[in-house]
Homo-oligomer: A and B are copies of this chain.
Amino acid sequence: MPQSGDARRLRIAMAQLNTTVGDFEGNLQKMLDGVEQAKALAVDLLTFPELAVCGYPPEDLLFKPHFIAENRRYLQKLVKASAGITIVVGFAEGNGAIYNAAAVIHDGKLVDVYHKIFLPNYGVFDENRYFRPGDSCPVYTIAGVAVGVNICEDIWYEVGPASVQAYAGAELIVNVSASPYYFGKGDAREEMIAKRAKDNIAIFAYNNLVGGQDELVFDGGGMILDEKGRLLARGRQFGEDMILADLDVAAVAQVRLKDLEWQKGVAPWKEPPWKVTRVTLSDKPFSMRKPTISTRKVKPKNLYAEIYDALVLGTGDYVTKNGFEKVLIGLSGGIDSSLVAAIAVDALGKSNVVGVTMPSRYSSPGSVSDAELLAKNLGIKLLTVPIEKVFQAYQDTLAESFRGTKPNVTEENIQARIRGNILMALSNKFGWLVLTTGNKSEMATGYTTLYGDMAGGFAVIKDVPKTVVYELARYRNYRGDKELIPASVIEKPPSAELRPEQKDIDTLPDYELLDPVLKAYVEEDKSVEEIIALGIDEEVVRKAARLVDGSEYKRRQAPPGVKITTRAFGRDRRLPITNRYKGW
């Protein structure tokens, strides 16, 4: 409680780590490094992200009792290293019932455990599948400061543990998170936290995970806001960081003293939704001799830089966390594969990216030369494996079975699948992970060949609409000192080049028309009628909806890729394949 002459300050450090699911040893080492660094800086309170001990999200690994036990053993190792500091760290607690928990560790002891109350079970989240919700809101006295601890989703509700803790006296709210990225989410988070800070007159310290995990990329960007909602510190986006601040806790007490509403002490709920517990860890800081530390506010990136960096981090982490060094990309000379190659080079370095061009009778000379120019610009190795001979062998082999039929999409798919087979053969022979190059507009409409261009381990831009692919290519060219993706690649009309003179526009509406329809239909659950009512051409809308519904079976067999929108294909969108509902 505030006292006259109150000059309380608390030094906080938030370690924004890139953990890996199931990598107990690796995650512990990162945390021990963080502890050492924090101690050297005389930090009072050090935080690590949600489920940092075991990695997030561990999914059904949580059902293995030995996984939970291992996670507990590693937590204990962190406890042992905590002499002279207070730590808040996420782990999975349980024995039968499992909780998404935060351990509060102080000076060599595990003092208390908080259980996450709000369990997200929408979008990509399945937390009700694993966890029971907590039922109490602890307030800890740490270095003489009242601190509320909670986890990720907890903070997103106006009446949640943070507000209960603040009304029970907490002056600092610590939230440890694993909040996956979609574009624009950083701003939404900052706005929400600023509101919570102002409403509750408390400092909010938000520690987010960073790194890629299958379909998800966590963008970090942890931040600390003061009791007026003003930004004190912001960490890097898409990179590990240590976010430091000296918090003027006395100021919180001052503002509260002057706030008449607050002084009435009437909480905005009728009954307290959860019980409040109080635990005193320390009445004063370990050390009073603290030099001033530097607090940084990393500037937010612009939209395309943000998306691009999300793709780089998600791709790099998928490759390396799965034990691969090199990747292989089929380069068609088109914009999708060119962008994917640029992302791969930025993620892994040019010596770890191999391109292969697989020309056919239908490849334009420009495509081959564009692929070559791109490879030269990126400085990557380029293989050439023409598919003509194999294509001819298929046609000869199938001639009898196909007698009396006319060439159609079948022959186009055979070519795409020959390329898929060649990519996988090179992958099997040399241990390179194949990156696929399909974009979201194609994945949505099924303008893609299952086992053909969809063949590979990771689908880098599967959540990037074609119109955004262009923006990202331009952004990457703009960012570098030289034109990386040849202008001819960006300018030519998109084509699969699987039959003479083929253009995407023969089959699909123009992407400028198509993408807004796909967004409304796929991401916003709008009906065909509602989209038409927005003034979009009826034929385009009906065709797009029909194509989306009809290609669910393809998407079910697609490799994972980085989510960058509010609704990606994959665990984020769960539609039956067997489905007779037709809105078109």
Contact = CB atoms under 8 A, between A and B. Distances in A.
Interface of A: 20-24, 26, 55, 57-61, 63-67, 70, 121-122, 126, 128-129, 212-214, 317-318, 321-322, 383, 385-387, 389-390, 392-394, 396-398, 401-402, 405, 408-410, 413-414, 417-418, 420-422, 424-426, 428-429, 450-451, 455, 457, 525, 527, 529-530, 553, 556-560, 571, 573-583
A61 B527 CA distance: 11
A128 B122 CA distance: 8
A57 B577 CA distance: 11
A128 B128 CA distance: 7
- How many copies of the polypeptide does the oligomer hold? 2
A580 B451 contact: no
Contact of A59 (B214, B426, B575): B575
A64 to B, nearest CB: 5
Given A213-B578, A577-B322, A409 B428 contact: yes
B429 A405 contact: yes
A426 to B, nearest CB: 6
Contacts of A573: 60
A536 to B, nearest CB: 17
Contact of A580 (B22, B413, B428): B22
A211 B66 CA distance: 37
User: Looking at A58, A426, A451, A530, which has the most chain B CB atoms within 10 Å of its CB?
Assistant: A451
A576 B59 contact: yes
Nearest to A406: B429
A50 to B, nearest CB: 15
Contacts of A410: 425, 428-429
A553 B451 contact: no
15 contacts: A64-B527, A64-B583, A65-B527, A66-B530, A122-B129, A126-B129, A126-B574, A322-B578, A385-B398, A387-B397, A390-B390, A390-B393, A408-B429, A413-B425, A417-B424
A201 to B, nearest CB: 32
A421 B389 contact: no
Contacts of A122: 129
Nearest to A66: B527
Contact of A386 (B317, B397, B414, B424): B397
Contacts of A397: 385-387, 389-390, 422
Contacts of A418: 421
Contact of A581 (B67, B383, B393): B67
A181 to B, nearest CB: 16
B60 A574 contact: yes
A317 B212 CA distance: 38
A390 B387 CA distance: 11
A21 B578 contact: yes
A189 B419 CA distance: 50
